[in-house]
Structure 1
């Protein structure tokens, strides 16, 4: 068995096999312990050395690895290389700008990594700190971490179960294990049943023998899954792919340039000097600075941070920024049922009458057989269904017997308003029917009613009354009980479907309950009982293809455990889906962390919140659709920035190379390139505020499409820039043109190229921010326009007054501005054609598809 699956079955612990299934006597014998004596202190110490502490062990990363982690990776290495070259050449202004961006990106990554450990920390806090154990024949309070298999422990009201137990004595206990198994009601436990570590005792007192501790418990398996879960952000993958693409282009161009310079200096001029080597190094620096999208991680982070701020106003807290971008591509949402799709409030439907003719009489008798102060969910539902609860004050409860898992009913002795004494009872319908000693036709009627209710996912509760001290009982009726869907759930699911997101329900409840809830919500009724469908020894990281296909087809899953939820998410991801997962309990934490966008719903445990990327503070799922819309807007902004940045980077790199090779002219100085990085990227962060259309369907990174579109736009940007450079050289070689355009020196031509790339780059963003014509809505936002034109004006003033660059006349500046404005319209035509070709939407492509389909008989 895979270690991560050896949880409630401690087969991997000291050769102890199937302790959760074998008879209690065999379990005690296998553990070599007596229920009335417990282990001796020496035995406990020996077993502690053998099995290890009853605690979750977290593998800690070294301090050095933690600190150096953010400084590794393609983008980090290139930034560091550029910084080192800048320092070597003594270009400290360049070094300061580059190193500052490196530290900013590293700080963001370090902060995200710290948050990743929150889930396991929260799980640790959920464990019991102490336990009451029978050692050497005496009950002692011991640290829960020292418990070992074979220890006899006592659990009672309010106690956290300290390890996985088999209950060996005691009458009854009600244990809330919803956070572990997803069950909506506390589980009734009797001798022989198992109690899971981390669950909470709500009623009763029992004794149990420890059968598994630490990472071998049900709870421990959840923690192991959390520690191993996690998917790589698609935004990170995209940044690496973009960086690698630009790095390859930069390296190829650098090799060409180095080869050309060496050949020219050694072969042609035969005049090699160390100064020439430094000049080549200087050029490589320029190319490195030009090729590295140093601000890309910052732009991504700021854009998503502002999206997180927008979501917080809609009662959704983002704890992992990359999840916002992931939500844009989510096509499957796995949602828990209880409290998310349903109200998590048991509600009574119309009673099914037998001996009684009044529905309220049946409910009233059931309420009299309840105890409101126990705050039991079923008792609360029955009492709450009374039209007039004040009527109960006329009755006096003389004696009350609570529910127990053997008798499966409650009973109360009650004094009525007219002085009579009656007995009332409620419980399992079959038990109440037997109590009433029904004849065969009535017994069959009860059985059929229970089956019909079960098929609809309803719980059934029988109610009986005796007026002769329990000698004879009358079955008054059956109370159908269910957890109704939230009022907004169906509308939310329908809206998600229109957005291309399929919702699958995941619950620990029985299949019939899940199927009926799914039917009411319009999810479909193909519900898989996970505990039966998944092999017990299945590795959740390697789901067999046939099971993965069944998971993909299913409308939902019932009777799930933590490894099932994790496996469902992992299998869907392996089949190419982006998966969002909602949950609220410890049992949801592994799947929440593994999902592309794990979402902790309102009222979730600390473990679920720590594992989730999105935390909802309002009940229900309605905010999910808002998150999808916001994510798709953010994705649109990041996508447009990416195309813009790649195209502009290619423009700068190829302009430098082509002008050096063909014209033996350096069009940009090092300080110009640094200023370009500041002027082009700093205001672009305002794209986070841009108005963006919402995609109707899930959208993902299609790197071939992104790089193809950006490469085409980059190519024509090179045509635009190199064309102006050729015009500039033509002007410099003609006296009349020099006077007309007010351009006289090559230094001024460098300023012209600097200004053109700043203006052309900003105008290029107008092209890339939408696939439509740039002059159609949605129009650029005020913050984006203000940021772009502020930097445009700054670049113009720099050239007009000679700040850091050679001075230009206003006439020359006017001609450059006019030239770039004309290219805005030309680039938009090119963009539209490129998108049509990339998306196979041109007329000739449509004709070709029709011809192929006709030949194939389609």
Structure 2
């Protein structure tokens, strides 16, 4: 099969200075030993999740206006030796805390398990060879390849390529922006069009995304349900406090003993304070969380259910299909005058191993197994697949010849090859027959010395 060689031309002066400062090389990347040393020194490329101890999170359930009022009732019940009132107050406190804690604990465990399965990977150059590695293992100085559909795994400076990116998750700006040589790519952005190579300049909490995450975590938003409950309890506390104070003043004026006045204060608290309000909210939200879990929705904070329930319209976007992302070449149908080896050779030449695209890798594996393609081919230019062109195109040089190789949608490649409309229609009919079996059909073509043939 062919050997796609990267251009030996030096990078732009500015990014070249960055590479030298980071002790990296854009043709070989970092050595594995050096990358491991930097990983141990700087830590993984991730924003650490700050988790409180389970006991602290449980005890926090007993803190707040509603909890304080119930605890005040429990305290007065102890002073007045009202065991029944004490049991009711404590039972309400414990039920509310236990329900809320265990429901959130279960959801948190499920989310943690999902995060382990959804590890983001990156294509990185180490010791001169491209490899796929977890994004959390990236370090400063790593040379990384990104293409359309990828998440930017760390803050990077572009070495080569022109990219259109969506960084709305970071800036809120929904319009795509263009990034080219020397410009920065921020972790968390999405590559919409193009492909390129960059050098990692920041990882983990030092990235733009990491700093933004820490700022958001330091100022969590207050949920609507919390504001409503706090407002109700606050006004009830003011009213009940005023009534208790009035009762104490009247009792003092009339000379009644304090021991006889406290039961009146307890009655006022028990009758006016909605002691079951926290439990009612917790139970209702726990039931809602259980119902949502049956539909595959995980709730990490019970209070978030109420805010979700107030939405009138929810807009979401999901493109593509859910597959195992493992492709293999099933069938090759060459046109008259060409062999299967010719088709595999052109398809392999129009593929780029560095992109780790499943389609490209399927053709490269098939070419390697069949020993097809020149052993030494120099890639002069490579245009990745895009929705606009619907094809991948490469210009390569081998054996003293310059060859233009195309692979992509059948009609697009057929028109580029100069086929007639009837021939393209006949080929599409064959492709539709294969598509009904669940197979994906692609076409390849090549041009030598200005003449294009498929």
Greater gyration radius: 1
**Aligned with 2:350 (options 387, 391, 402):** 402
The corresponding residue for 1:259 is 249
Q: 1:70 to 1:220 in 2, by over 3 A?
A: same
Does 2:278 align with 1:278?
no
The corresponding residue for 1:214 is 204
**Aligned with 2:451 (options 472, 477, 498):** 472
2-side partners of 1:260 and 1:122: how far apart? 62
1-side partners of 2:108 and 2:88: how far apart? 30
Structure 1 segment 73-84 matched on structure 2, within 5 A:
73-84=64-75
The gaps in structure 1 that reach 5 residues or longer are 1-20, 182-188, 266-271, 346-371, 376-388, 413-422, 437-461, 477-858
Greater relative contact order (Cα < 8 A, sep 6+): 2
The corresponding residue for 1:235 is 225
Structure 1 segment 685-834 matched on structure 2, within 5 A:
none
Contact 1:39 1:152 in 2 (8 A): no
Deviation per CA, 1:6-41: give whole Å up to 9, x if none: xxxxxxxxxxxxxxx985423313424344474796
Contact 2:144 2:200 in 1 (8 A): yes
The corresponding residue for 2:101 is 110
Does 2:269 align with 1:288?
yes
Contact 1:134 1:153 in 2 (8 A): no
The corresponding residue for 2:83 is 92
Indicate the SS of the match to 1:406.
Answer: strand
Contact 2:350 2:407 in 1 (8 A): no
Q: TM-score, normalised by structure 1?
A: 0.32
Q: 1:67 to 1:406 in 2, by over 3 A?
A: same
Deviation per CA, 1:283-340: give whole Å up to 9, x if none: 1112111222111122223334444555567x36362443443344324x4523333x
Contact 2:35 2:139 in 1 (8 A): no
How far does residue 261 in structure 1 lie from its aligned partner after superposition? Answer: 1.3
Contact 2:99 2:283 in 1 (8 A): no
Does 2:60 align with 1:69?
yes
Contact 2:39 2:137 in 1 (8 A): no
The corresponding residue for 2:279 is 298
Indicate the SS of the match to 1:79.
Answer: helix
Contact 2:104 2:302 in 1 (8 A): no
How far does residue 102 in structure 1 lie from its aligned partner after superposition? Answer: 0.7
Q: TM-score, normalised by structure 2?
A: 0.56
Q: 1:127 to 1:216 in 2, by over 3 A?
A: farther
Contact 2:285 2:305 in 1 (8 A): yes
2-side partners of 1:424 and 1:129: how far apart? 28
Indicate the SS of the match to 2:253.
Answer: helix
How far does residue 55 in structure 1 lie from its aligned partner after superposition? Answer: 3.4
Q: CA RMSD in A?
A: 5.8
Of Structure 1 and Structure 2, the greater helix share is in 1
**Aligned with 2:46 (options 55, 58, 79):** 55
Indicate the SS of the match to 2:278.
Answer: helix
The alignment of Structure 1 onto Structure 2 pairs a total of residues equal to 347
The corresponding residue for 1:337 is 317
Q: 1:220 to 1:471 in 2, by over 3 A?
A: same
1-side partners of 2:272 and 2:13: how far apart? 66
2-side partners of 1:308 and 1:138: how far apart? 48
2-side partners of 1:141 and 1:407: how far apart? 21
Structure 1 segment 98-497 matched on structure 2, within 5 A:
98-111=89-102, 114=105, 115=107, 126-127=118-119, 134=126, 148-151=139-142, 163-165=154-156, 209-217=199-207, 220=210, 224=214, 227=217, 230-265=220-255, 276-308=257-289, 315=295, 317=297, 319=299, 320-331=301-312, 333=313, 335-339=315-319, 344=320, 373=327, 397=340, 398-399=342-343, 400=347, 401-403=349-351, 406-408=382-384, 409-410=391-392, 426=408, 471-473=450-452
2-side partners of 1:155 and 1:407: how far apart? 14
Contact 1:179 1:199 in 2 (8 A): yes
The corresponding residue for 1:836 is none
Q: 1:280 to 1:228 in 2, by over 3 A?
A: same
How far does residue 76 in structure 1 lie from its aligned partner after superposition? Answer: 0.5
Indicate the SS of the match to 1:258.
Answer: helix
1-side partners of 2:49 and 2:289: how far apart? 30
The gaps in structure 2 that reach 5 residues or longer are 1-11, 171-178, 353-380, 385-390, 395-404, 419-441
Deviates more, 1:399-408 or 1:294-303: 399-408
Contact 1:165 1:208 in 2 (8 A): yes
Q: 1:130 to 1:26 in 2, by over 3 A?
A: closer
